[in-house]
């Protein structure tokens, strides 16, 4: 059953099209597959992380050892607008849109690995909301299982999950020199947890240079210009208020030169 379901994506087929094929009567019934996928005792995350780590190891052997390896943290929409009874279904806001657009579904937090040429997903979490959830957790789920733990995790905020996701990847054998993440992940406690920082958009957070506090806009005037690529303007070494050293890099918006 596992082999059958796992190979579907590589055959570019859905379970429905497989059942409609000439050999459809040779495959298990739909209910059998759904019971298998919904079984809460399977450690799907463990399998996914180990598979990714094994694949990354194969790719790394073909890659120049001097090429930086990075872990990338990002979130995206997981739209389920047609669903009604899905556990922990929530009303979520689409942060990528300019207006206040909402959708039914989840926020999908993803941890990936990249060497600049290849991207591999390593871990993910589907996040709901404590305040905006439309359905709760099924009372039939055994609270000792992996499935119940994933449901409880879905009610946490994204930044609190990132350190554990990175730790699981490292424990599985994934290696990386940097962690890249969007601006809303870069609050001091999280940065202190992973000791890494990617690109920072304007926030109210302040940074220390020679014991003086600067906003991000003020830092731009203090930072030294960078000689090299046109998009990279300035860079400067600073310290967060909790003592973590950080390098801030100012990059020009290719679509709007004034930013």
Q: At what angle do helices 158-171 and 44-60 cross, to 10 degrees?
A: 60
Q: Which residue is it, tokens 């082999």?
A: 3
Q: For residue 214, give the 3-state DSSP assignment.
A: strand
Domain-by-domain residue ranges, the chain?
Answer: 1-38, 44-198, 200-259
What mean pLDDT comes out for the span 62-72? 88
Tokens of 8: 């579907």
- Let me know: does 246 contact 197? Beta carbons within 8 Å: yes
Q: What is the per-residue pLDDT for 197?
A: 37
> What's residue 185's pLDDT?
61
**Average pLDDT of the segment spanning 206-212:** 84
Selection from 187, 125, 183 nearest residue 156 by Cα: 125
Where is 193: in which H helix or E strand? Answer: helix 188-194
Task: List all residues 6 or more positions away from 105 whose beta carbon is below 8 Å from its beta carbon.
Answer: 77, 78, 79, 80, 81, 83, 89, 90, 92
Give tens-digit pLDDT for 100-153: 788 898 999 999 999 988 999 999 999 998 888 888 898 888 999 999 999 999
Q: What is the pLDDT of residues 6-50, one digit of tens each?
A: 888 888 888 888 888 888 888 888 889 889 988 899 999 999 999
Q: pLDDT tens digits, residue range 139-198? A: 888 999 999 999 999 999 888 888 889 889 988 989 888 888 776 665 555 665 554 434
Contacts of 19 (CB under 8 A, 6+ apart): 27, 30
Q: What are the CA-CA distances from residue 141 to residues 136, 151, 156, 188 (Å)?
A: 12, 10, 19, 36
More confident position, 140 or 253: 140
The answer for residues whose C-beta is within 8 angstroms of residue 203's C-beta and 6 or more apart is 183, 186, 216
166 exposure class (CB count in 10 Å sphere: 0-12, 13-18, 19+): buried
Least confident range from 10-24, 60-74, 177-191, 234-248: namely 177-191
pLDDT of residue 244: 74
Buried-exposed string 137-164: b where 16+ CB fall within 10 A, e elsewhere = beeebeeeebbbebbebbeeebbebbee
Torsion of CA 118, 121, 122, 126, to 10 degrees: 160
Please state the pTM of the whole predicted model: 0.68
Indicate the SS3 state at residue 74. Answer: strand
Instruction: Quote the pLDDT of residue 50.
Output: 93
Residue 196 has a pLDDT of: 42
């Amino acid at each position: 059953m596992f082999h059958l379901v796992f190979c579907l994506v590589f055959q570019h087929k859905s379970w429905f099209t497989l059942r409609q094929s000439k050999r459809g009567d040779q495959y298990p019934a739909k209910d059998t597959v759904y019971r298998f996928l919904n079984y809460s005792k399977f450690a799907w995350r463990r399998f996914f992380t180990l598979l990714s780590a094994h694949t990354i190891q194969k790719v790394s052997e073909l890659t120049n050892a001097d090429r930086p390896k990075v872990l990338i943290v990002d979130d995206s929409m997981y739209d389920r607008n047609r669903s009604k009874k899905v556990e922990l279904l929530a009303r979520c806001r689409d942060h990528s849109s300019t207006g206040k657009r909402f959708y039914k579904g989840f926020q999908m937090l993803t941890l990936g690995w990249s060497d600049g040429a290849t991207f591999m997903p390593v871990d993910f979490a589907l996040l709901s909301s404590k305040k905006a959830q439309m359905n709760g957790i099924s009372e039939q789920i055994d609270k000792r299982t992996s499935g119940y733990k994933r449901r409880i995790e879905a009610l946490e905020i994204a930044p609190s999950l990132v350190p554990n996701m990175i730790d699981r990847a490292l424990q599985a054998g994934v290696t990386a020199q940097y962690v890249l993440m969007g601006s809303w992940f870069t609050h001091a406690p999280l940065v202190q947890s992973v000791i890494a920082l990617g690109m920072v958009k304007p926030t109210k957070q302040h940074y220390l240079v020679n014991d003086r506090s600067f906003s991000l806009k003020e830092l731009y005037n203090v930072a030294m210009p960078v000689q090299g690529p046109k998009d990279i303007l300035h860079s400067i070494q600073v310290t967060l208020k909790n003592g973590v050293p950080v390098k801030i890099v100012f990059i020009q918006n290719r679509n709007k030169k004034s930013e």
